[in-house]
Amino acid sequence: MIPPPSLEIAVLVLGMVILMLEAFAERIDKRILAFATIGALIAVLIGTWFLAPSPAQEQATGFWSFYTADPLSIFFKRFALLTTILVLIMMIDYAPVVLASIPSTKKQTGLGEFFAIPIFTCAGLMYLVSAIDFIFIFVSLELVTISFYVLVSFTRHNPATLEAGVKYLVLSALSTAFLVYGITWIFGVTGQTNLQRITAALANPEIERGPALFGMVLVLVALGFKIAAVPFQIWVPDVYQGAPTPVTAYLSVGSKAAGFVVLLRVLRPFLMLPQMERLIVLIALLTLLYGNLAALPQSNLKRLLAYSSIAHAGYLLIGVACFDGPAVTFYLVAYLLMTLLSFAVLVIVAQQTGEEISDFDGLAKRSPFLAFAMLIAMASLAGVPLTAGFFGKFFIFYAAIAQRQTALVVVGVITVACGFYYYLKVVRAMYWQPAAKVDNISVNVLSRLAMSALIVAIVWLGIYPAPILEALRR
């Protein structure tokens, strides 16, 4: 039996070992570091099934008043590890672009750090999903954000990437300021930073509800930035388009999932305040409409996926507004599978032709495998039955109907129809347009394996979603 905190320690030690190897073993091929990291992270992932139980949250003190290893956090630790592994596989495919963007006389400059920093991000995500104290939430959120600052502007010689890096830095710092200010208000009223004790303090009728609500709204601003909810979404299209593609994938899956876990945890004490639910319903409606409508005219696939990421945040917020944790979690799992699959295809195709949707013309002839993978990803993102995306939306809408959130259901269903248009535009380009370039795109074994696994997982969960639901209920 492994004590739960040793998982993150293992990941952190791994990150430092990789950094040391990068610095002192100059001769080795830097891609070996990535393979070693993937192997080690898989070992940690397997380790999550052999965890010792942790003490109950209610009377926890010291270490356990910051950190919890409840089923939700263990599930999302696996989620973070899996995302990091898949992103690293994508990064190996993306390595030529990174090398081309850093002019140097030495071989493979900067590649080692490109593989090492995601390990620290992963540790940050794992801490974040376990955090049950505002101070710890803030610190681990900053670990995630600061490593993303570096990753987003990694290929900084490209002006678009530099712009993305600066935008992300400035707006993210602003959102952090809101988070800290919100936390001070909540601390000022309740005198606590631990979520469990805040719940207890807010249950006291003598407590002042107004300032607590104000603090929570400020915290919501910061988390809205992380999950890309309207009106905190301004940064998303430019940053997603400018950042290196694997980093975009990481940002849209890892950062968003952790944001939603924190949102679910932080909202729990405040649910007794009726204004909170109305606010989240409003944000969900705006996010759904903005994300889906703005995605319609896009011609760049990376930008399209950015708007689609906003749209999916909207569907997830429906689940949050109904406070249905399992539905949100299932949706996030489906979102991980389909988003990472589409970005994995994008990384490979973008190096051959480009990121525009027209660059995917005739992909079915150039590489039937990549085209099929993209077809599954797009079908799942749109929510076609027999894919994981369908059940994700189904559970969310089911929860909304059960809670009688009519407005959310109506707007949700209409925007799903919008989604069909822009996702299937990509499918149309791949299968019905003549190829602009005649070549065969080769895919290396590891990526082919990862993509096949993602395709199988999407279809499997689309037919038989029980295993994930079982894992959540435990």
Query: Do the Cβ atoms of 335 and 228 come closer than 8 Å?
Result: no
Structure tokens at 418: 């919008």
Query: Do the Cβ atoms of 127 and 289 come closer than 8 Å?
Result: no
Three-state SS for 152? helix
With tokens 């207890």, the residue in question is 200
Element spanning 363, H or E: helix 363-366
Q: Is 120 in the site for other proteins (CB under 8 A)?
A: yes
Q: Is 204 in the site for other proteins (CB under 8 A)?
A: no
Q: Judged by CB, which is closer to other proteins: 214, or 398?
A: 214
Q: Is 140 in the site for other proteins (CB under 8 A)?
A: yes
Q: Residues 7, 44, 117, 461: which binds other proteins (CB under 8 A)?
A: 117
Using only C-alpha atoms, the chain has a radius of gyration, in whole angstroms, of 22
Q: Judged by CB, which is closer to other proteins: 31, or 156?
A: 156
Q: Is 208 in the site for other proteins (CB under 8 A)?
A: yes
**Shortest CA distance to 458 belongs to which of 383, 380, 384?**
380
Q: Is 270 in the site for other proteins (CB under 8 A)?
A: no
Q: Residues 67, 168, 290, 315: which binds other proteins (CB under 8 A)?
A: 67
With tokens 């710890």, the residue in question is 136
Query: Do the Cβ atoms of 425 and 357 come closer than 8 Å?
Result: yes
Q: Judged by CB, which is closer to other proteins: 103, or 297?
A: 103
Q: Judged by CB, which is closer to other proteins: 33, or 373?
A: 33
- Measured N-to-C along each axis, helices 30-47 and 5-24 cross at an angle, to the nearest 10 degrees, of 170
Q: Residues 146, 201, 424, 459: which binds other proteins (CB under 8 A)?
A: 146
Q: Is 423 in the site for other proteins (CB under 8 A)?
A: no
Q: Residues 76, 79, 115, 154: which binds other proteins (CB under 8 A)?
A: 154
Q: Is 97 in the site for other proteins (CB under 8 A)?
A: no
Residues in contact with other proteins, counted by CB under 8 A, come to a total of: 37
Q: Residues 136, 240, 270, 331: which binds other proteins (CB under 8 A)?
A: 136
Q: Which residues contact 269 (CB under 8 A, 6 or more apart)?
A: 195, 198, 199, 202
Structure tokens at 164: 């993305």
- CA-CA-CA-CA dihedral for 62, 66, 70, 73, to nearest 10: -150
- Only one of the segments 140-148, 243-251, 307-315, 411-419 lies at the binding site for other proteins (rule: CB under 8 A); that segment is 140-148
Chain contacts with other proteins (rule: CB under 8 A): 12, 16, 19, 62-63, 66-67, 102-105, 109-110, 113, 116-117, 120, 123, 127, 135-136, 138-140, 142-143, 146-147, 149-150, 153-154, 156, 208, 210-211, 214
